[in-house]
Amino acid sequence: MHRFYKQLSYFITIKMEIVHTIKDLQAALSVLRAQKKEVGLVPTMGALHAGHASLVKRCVAENDVAVVSVFVNPTQFNDKNDLVKYPRTLEADCRLLEECGAAFVFAPSVEEMYPEPDTRQFSYAPLDTVMEGAFRPGHFNGVCQIVSKLFDAVQPDRAYFGEKDFQQLAIIREMVRQMKYPLQIVGCPIVREEDGLALSSRNARLSAGERKNALKISQTLFESRTFAAAHTVAEIQKFVEDVIAAEPGLRLEYFELVDGNTLQKIANLEDTSYAVGCITVFCGEARLIDNIKYKE
Ligand code: PAF
């Protein structure tokens, strides 16, 4: 079907359904599968913004049926305070998802996804031992637990993830490869505010002053890309560290220049054809992540 009519047909004939159990979701999807419909999945933790909307719109455009999960996954929070404070905005999320053309919102309870503790251990070293993996012990194990449960429940043909969580995307690709899930992972570009700040559900926690400070993160990454044309990896590293350190209100957790496939630090830009700078910065209480490609 032509993409325009496919999208249009959602608005005309398909009313978005909100389901809360795996059983109901699978019952609805099995009817569509029998009609040979292709299913796309966008896993989210809600508090949706334009970045999520871009994933959902792409999912709608590339599949017959778009399923969006909204679930704040407790097992990926190493900081329980962060879990408690995580914004929960299901009503507003559903309005946005309907506008984007999603067919199903899957919004399960914690008991539905974890009727018993999930003791599975996912280990994709060295991808999950560096950067976020080093600073947030257990985080990627929790991400893999929930994403694998969602893949099992939905059995999508394609699943969509944002490149802002660059390391997460690499680990999920590896999980899919090792567990031989018959689906395609689609990585989608970072969506930024007009001034460059990467969209994140955590931006909602920034005060006006913090929002101004946070802008320095993306600005520094963009400047570092220009700087990279005539400098070494060590010099780029120092440049980013110095600029962030000089900014009141920001605290650098890490900046690493890595190979985009292995996520291991590189010594020279010439050593790889895919170089990415990944950064995590505290801005007030909010822990913000971003990344930039130097070479692809
Ligand atoms: O990227 C996120 O929002 C979450 O880590 C994900 C993939 C939805 C799993 O809870």
pLDDT tens digits, one per residue of 128-151? 999 999 999 999 999 999 999 999
* CA-143 nearest atom, ligand 1: 9
User: Rounded CA gap, 162 and 291, in Å?
Assistant: 12
**Per-residue pLDDT, 205:** 87
Q: What is the pLDDT of residues 156-178, one digit of tens each?
A: 999 999 999 999 999 999 999 99
Residues having CB closer than 6 A to ligand 1 are: 43-45, 73, 76, 143, 146-147, 165, 168
- By CB atoms closer than 10 A (0-12, 13-18, 19+), residue 137 is exposed
Full strand arrangement of the beta sheet holding 286-295: 250-259, 275-283, 286-295
Q: What is the pLDDT of residues 250-293, one digit of tens each?
A: 999 999 999 999 999 999 999 999 999 999 999 999 999 999 99
Q: Which amino acid, 237?
A: Q
**Per-residue pLDDT, 10:** 47
Instruction: Using most ligand atoms within 8 A of CB, pick from 44, 52, 56 the residue to mutate for ligand 1.
Output: 44
**Residue 7: pLDDT above 70?**
no
Nearest to 275 by CA among 229, 220, 219, 217: 229
User: Rounded CA gap, 163 and 154, in Å?
Assistant: 22
Region 91-103: what's the mean pLDDT?
Answer: 98
How many other C-beta atoms can be found within 10 angstroms of the C-beta atom of residue 161?
22
Contact 218, 212 (CB under 8 A): no
**Residue 37: pLDDT above 90?**
yes
Ligand 1 centre distance from Cα of residue 215 (Å)? 24
Question: Confidence band (pLDDT; 50, 70, 90) for 3?
Answer: low
> What is this structure's pTM?
0.94
Give me the active site residues, please. Answer: 52
Instruction: Using most ligand atoms within 8 A of CB, pick from 48, 88, 144, 146 the residue to mutate for ligand 1.
Output: 146
**Residue 97: pLDDT above 50?**
yes
